[in-house]
Copies of this chain bind each other. A is one copy, B any other.
Amino acid sequence: MKKKVNFEKLAHQPAYRVVSEKIRNAIVSGEIKTGELLPTEITLAEQFGVTRSTIREAIRLLEHGGILGRADRKRLVVTLPPTDTVGRSVSSALLMHQVTYEELWQVAMGLEPLASKLACTAATRKDKQLLAANLVHTCEVMDDHDALLDAEIEFHNLLAEATHNSALLLARAPLNELFYPVAWGAVIQALSPGERILVAHQHIYGAICENNPDKAEEWMKKHMLDFRRGIEMGNLGFDQPVKG
């Protein structure tokens, strides 16, 4: 039997990565709280013992993830990454993976009924008010395809926010960004299913007000199936990759 030495391949990380990781740790561990200003580039450079250029590259690494924002176009500030910022990087990943509408629909089928169910117990009065306002608005723009699409997307968004579950919000972010705008837009254009949408939304809203999770979940399922049928009737390439 041959004796294998098998050294572990040593990972020489560039300095800007190391620095980036250190800063990231300091942030997520709460050492630097959200809202606080990041030290200036020069002080960071002195503390880490590297040059400003290196610090800047490290900062860029974090900036894209959304955990660093800009206070006033000068100093950097630690921020809670907004869901849409994070969602955007997920979205480009999905685009590159050539994700299909079918795949996104499957995920939506898992998350949206869940959101409806959870919203029943978690929604505050404020959330319900926003949903109600959205319903009214939907009635008004029933004939304007673009506005109807916006209202439809907003309804699902409000519903998700009503769960007060940030994990859920982030998980479904790509739906907002990639799926609904295109897919639902196509259905609305082709079939003008304004009333069907409104009826479903009303039932879901009703179920939330009655605090009836099962009903909310069921109606959302119906709603999503309806949507899918719309796509199939319109023959709109359900198994095609999403185009950004």
Contact = CB atoms under 8 A, between A and B. Distances in A.
Contacts of A94: 166-167, 170
A166 B92 contact: no
**Residue among A16, A114, A174 having the largest count of chain B Cβ atoms under 10 Å:** A114
Interface string A54-71: 001110111111110000
Interface in A81-100: 81, 83, 86, 89-90, 92-97, 99
B56 A106 contact: no
A220 to B, nearest CB: 12
Contact of A166 (B61, B97, B109): B97
B104 A167 contact: yes
A172 to B, nearest CB: 8
Interface stretch (A24-32, A126-134, A181-189, A229-237): A24-32
Chain A: interface size category: 35 or more
A165 interface: yes
A124 B34 CA distance: 46
Contact of A86 (B67, B93, B165): B93
A174 to B, nearest CB: 6
**Residue among A80, A96, A99, A111 having the largest count of chain B Cβ atoms under 10 Å:** A96
B28 A92 contact: yes
Contacts of A43: none
Nearest to A242: B167
A110 B160 CA distance: 13
Contacts of A147: none
23 contacts: A16-B60, A27-B92, A28-B96, A28-B244, A29-B244, A53-B56, A60-B61, A61-B61, A62-B64, A64-B64, A67-B92, A81-B93, A83-B93, A89-B89, A90-B170, A93-B170, A99-B167, A103-B166, A106-B114, A111-B111, A111-B171, A170-B174, A171-B171
Given A61-B63, A107-B168, 20 more contacts: A24-B92, A53-B53, A53-B56, A58-B60, A60-B60, A60-B64, A61-B61, A62-B64, A67-B93, A80-B93, A81-B93, A81-B96, A94-B170, A103-B167, A106-B165, A107-B165, A110-B113, A110-B168, A111-B111, A171-B174
